[in-house]
Structure 1
Amino acid sequence: MPMVHLGAAKKTLPAQLAHAGFNRRLAPVRSSSESKATVESALAEPAPQQGPSMTAQVAIILATTPIVEVLATVFAACGTFFGLLGRMDIWKATKKESFDAVHKAQNVLTASLESLRQDRKDDQKAFTGSLESLRKSGEASLESLHQDRKDDQKALLASLESLRQDRKDDQKAFTGSLESLRKSGEASLESLRKSGEASLESLHQDRKDDQKAFTGSLESLRKNGEASLESLHQDRKDDQKAFTGSLESLRKSGEASLESLHQDRKDDQKALTVSLESLRKSGEASLESLRQDRKDDQKALLASLESLGKGIHGLELLRYADREAWKQDVLASEARQEGRLETRIADMKADSRATTLVCDFRSKSKRIKQRKTNNNSSSAAKPSKPEETLAEKS
């Protein structure tokens, strides 16, 4: 059986304990050269012939000392034991060797337990000694602190007494300085009062002189302001008269221009009405001619179809079918012609509106130019040659 490595057992022990259901708090791990030597000597000893079972020994170890190394060794031995049980064929072949390995593991556990108990006793003794030394040093430090506190209290009382004496001396000196300052302040106040009365008298005299000068300047300014205000009133009256005259002239010229615009609009409306009437008449004539042409074509086609359809019965049927198709074509062509005619009429109306707007714009621009050259002129402006040509075209 190979030796159990304690470091590996320490690393894998928490997971093994959680898997086995142990929730007990473990003690800190301690390892020493003495425990290692004890384990090696226990491994070198032969296995005993008789002894307690492995389960009983493991239960005793767990009940007495719950230490990490003991538990790690126990779980490693148990793992080896259960692994050997899993392989029954090898267990049967090497039964005696397995028992020897188990006894060696028991010896290792016993030796490790003994060494750990001894280490625990040594640590407890060392801890007790360190606690005693710490207690003694703490008592000595406390005694020294008490003595230092007493010395500091005495020094503080002495310093307080000296501060009280200094305060009394300072108060006496401050009282003397206040008395001297009061006397000097009274003398300076008396001198300041006298000088202030003299300055106040001189200021009263200066104020009277300034008031007289200010009253004179205000009177002169009032007279100048009244004269300026009178001149401004006269200028305002003159400007108002001039503005009223210019407004009257502008009103008259505006009325004349408006009258001329009304007359131009009437003339343009008459010309547009005449052009629209002529267009309507020409459209009606063309529509009437188209209808007459359609009737003549229909009569000629019917005559030709009648002359051609006096043959065979099959030709008569064909003629009937062709007649129906021709009627549909004629109706479609009529609808198309009527749509074209309506579109043409709408276009003519739109062109007439555009022509009217152009004529109005040109006449207005012409009249504006004439007003700029001669404001007093009120003659109505006539349409130019391009305008008449455009109206005739529309």
Structure 2
Amino acid sequence: MTNKKTFLFLISSLFFICSCGTYRINNTSDFKKNANLDSMKGKYFSKPFLLRNNYNQDFFSLLNKNSVKSDFFNLEFIDNNNLKISYDEIVENKFVSKEIILNGKRKRKFFEVYFSKKQFFIPFLYGNFDIDRLRIGFDKSGKILIRNFSDGSGNILFIGGGFSGESKYLFESVEKSSTLIPFSKNGKWGFKKKDDIIIEPIYDFVRTFDENYARVCIDNKWGLIDNKGNKLSEIIYDNIVPIVSDNDDYLKYSFVYLNGKTGIINSTGKITIPVIYDVIKNNGEFLEIKIGDKIGLCNYEKVIIPSIYIRLSSYIYHQYNYAEAERDNIIYYVDKQGYEYQTNLNPYYSKIGFLENGQPKYIPNLASKRKIDVEEQPK
């Protein structure tokens, strides 16, 4: 009987551990012990410190406010159970003051708030969980530490699915930062380091520095400057939006917008993708570029496949590394070096009903290889 009870206990424990994220032991060791949470009052950058390692989420996205544009946020406790977050949202190149009140519970090392906490659980039979929780405190270096726990999992018997996980984010105090901070004087904006003016207030509006450049605005037009105030680009664009990526290209490139068209500029102010495209969007390994109904591909540095195709797939064709492309009702292959190939039907391809035998339908005619000229794009 004892062995049977032990067995049932172990199975139950395993079930709880595997099926319900809220029963997991969450990491709290990197929160500062015995911290005075009232001292969180202050102003912080909304971009996480060491952003590359933090899934590129800013502070407001952790509050499920993905559309908020603000470079800073302020924290202040109203009482033990309510944390006020105030910020100046950027709306049409102006500041609009707003605030959010988080209702939660103050713990010994952090303030805890749930955005959702739904769980339905029948032992051994069924579980359904919807958990979204933040814990806000200090790390050991004094930065604001946020741990975001999400659980959208479920199970029927021992078959489970969904997702769960916990991520860590650090936010730096503006007061303690050594970077350049925007400031205003007589309605104009510049940059300070501590109390020293580094870049004179000559701009109508500015954004915080992204690595080694900042976006500045004059007469509703945007450009880039370096940390000495030198112009990296002309101030002519309708908007500039840094491209946040998980790789080494992090914040080295930005989308630029002018007269309804889109291009890409690098952190030195060089236009790498001309501002002629109606759409530039992610297409897996590359970016998709469109002029009218014509599609091509680029990376951040150059156009790979000019926008001349009515249809263009991803690079999915086995060892060939080709993408299928269509123009003038003819199927071509294009490769990652920007060459086009005529195609022939693959004699080994077959299809029965909805099933294929794993072979591509077409094979490239290597003798037809030609470099696609960017001048072939629509004007």
TM-score (norm 1): 0.15
Higher strand share: 2
Relative contact order, CA 8 A, sep 6+: which one is greater? 1
Larger Rg: 1
TM-score (norm 2): 0.16
